[in-house]
């Protein structure tokens, strides 16, 4: 049962200005994030009569809402669009009694129980258990064409979308292990893979470099930077600048059907970093084989703690784990 109350405390928002906290609500389980991990955690928690409250965050439905076709999630033999699939998961969570709300977690205090999470600078949710499913955001180059062709040739996940480019020409941007892995994966599907590298060397590990160099249909474009993308409605080519800022600078155009970003992800964990153990990038560390963090009663699932797979089905699996872990923890720590 949620409890409500009025308080007159003043809190500081990100700009340093004071904003009034107008309400405090007490819940048993709070879930932050609404991708496959968050919604699955909500389904399991609701069915366990934990009355979960879920806040959707900045991107309701998570990264999958930017994906046009999902063909690799079990149970959809004809495929389904990302937004449709997330709507299905949302309805399923609501069916069992999850309270799903629009709002952004802007601050967290995990120093004691109940845990306190501030929503939109105005409301504090106090929870006995906290499930973090805030995901990770793919890094983009920042060119306007990335938005223009999102879902129409631009992707940040080769494993998710590579299947659509069988027998076609694609480009991968990046020079690290992720870029090498994406290029190698795509080389088994696409006719030609261009690896666009800013520098004159790869940052990838030696073994990954060797695999790239030994793959016939991968061509590395050294010292190239992306200027823009072209195409009528969908990506048909990329405009690159070779040796930018040097006397040898020249503009190059390549014909491609798909443009894959592989310059890393940023886990959405900033507001929890003062309390939770993270790796050097910001991924929340969990105890192997569980969703448990270094703080009892706080659980992490989905891409915010997954440095390896980053798939909808694995995110959903860890969401299930988080709800079961939270249920068992609450049973053992009942007041």
161 is catalytic: yes
Helix or strand holding residue 185 (H, E): helix 177-187
Q: How far apart are CA 173 and CA 179, in angstroms?
A: 7
88 is catalytic: no
- For helices 312-332 and 36-47, the axis angle rounded to 10 degrees is 40
Could you report how far apart the first and last alpha carbons of the chain are, in Å?
15
Q: How far apart are CA 110 and CA 132, in angstroms?
A: 12
Query: Which pairs from 267-274 meet CB under 8 Å and 24+ separation?
Result: 267/134, 267/135, 267/136, 267/303, 267/304, 267/305, 268/33, 268/57, 268/134, 268/135, 268/136, 268/137, 268/304, 269/132, 269/134, 269/304, 271/105, 271/106, 271/107, 271/108, 272/108, 272/110, 272/132
With contact defined as beta carbons under 8 Å apart, do 65 and 58 qualify?
no
Q: Which of 128, 161, 257, 303 is catalytic?
A: 161
Helix or strand holding residue 79 (H, E): none
Q: Which of 128, 157, 301, 303 is catalytic?
A: 157
Q: How far apart are CA 108 and CA 275, in angstroms?
A: 9
With contact defined as beta carbons under 8 Å apart, do 321 and 301 qualify?
yes
Query: Which pairs from 331-335 meet CB under 8 Å and 24+ separation?
Result: 333/128, 333/296, 333/297
Q: Which of 11, 109, 120, 160 is catalytic?
A: 160
160 is catalytic: yes
Q: How far apart are CA 178 and CA 217, in angstroms?
A: 18
Identify the CA nearest to 271 among candidates 40, 58, 51: 58
Catalytic positions are: 157, 160-161
């Amino acid at each position: 049962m949620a409890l409500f109350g009025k308080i007159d405390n003043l809190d500081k928002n990100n700009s340093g200005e004071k904003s009034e906290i107008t309400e405090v609500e007490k819940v048993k389980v709070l879930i932050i994030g609404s991708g496959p991990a968050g919604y699955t955690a909500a389904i399991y928690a609701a069915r366990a009569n934990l009355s979960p409250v879920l806040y959707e965050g900045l991107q309701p439905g998570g990264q999958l809402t930017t994906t046009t076709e999902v063909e690799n999630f079990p149970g959809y033999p004809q495929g389904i669009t990302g937004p449709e699939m997330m709507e299905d998961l949302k309805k399923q969570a609501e069916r069992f009694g999850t309270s799903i709300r629009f709002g952004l977690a802007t601050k967290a205090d995990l120093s004691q129980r109940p845990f306190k999470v501030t929503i939109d600078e105005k409301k504090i949710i106090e929870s006995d258990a906290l499930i973090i499913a805030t995901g990770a955001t793919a890094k983009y180059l920042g060119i306007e064409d990335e938005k223009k062709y999102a879902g129409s040739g631009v992707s940040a996940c080769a494993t998710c979308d590579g299947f659509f480019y069988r027998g076609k020409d694609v480009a991968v941007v990046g020079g690290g292990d992720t870029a090498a892995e994406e290029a190698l994966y795509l080389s088994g599907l696409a006719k030609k893979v261009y690896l666009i590298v800013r520098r004159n060397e790869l940052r990838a590990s030696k073994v990954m470099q060797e695999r790239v160099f030994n793959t016939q249909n991968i061509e590395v474009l050294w010292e190239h930077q992306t200027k823009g993308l072209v195409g009528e409605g969908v990506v048909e080519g990329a405009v690159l600048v070779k040796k930018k800022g040097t006397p040898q600078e020249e503009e190059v155009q390549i014909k491609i059907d798909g443009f894959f970003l592989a310059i890393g992800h940023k886990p959405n964990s900033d507001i929890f970093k003062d309390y939770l153990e993270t790796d050097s990038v910001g991924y929340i560390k969990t105890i192997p084989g569980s969703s448990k963090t270094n703080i009892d009663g706080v659980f992490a699932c989905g891409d915010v703690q997954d440095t390896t797979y980053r798939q909808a089905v694995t995110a959903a699996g860890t969401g299930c784990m988080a709800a079961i872990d939270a249920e068992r923890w609450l049973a053992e720590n009942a007041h």
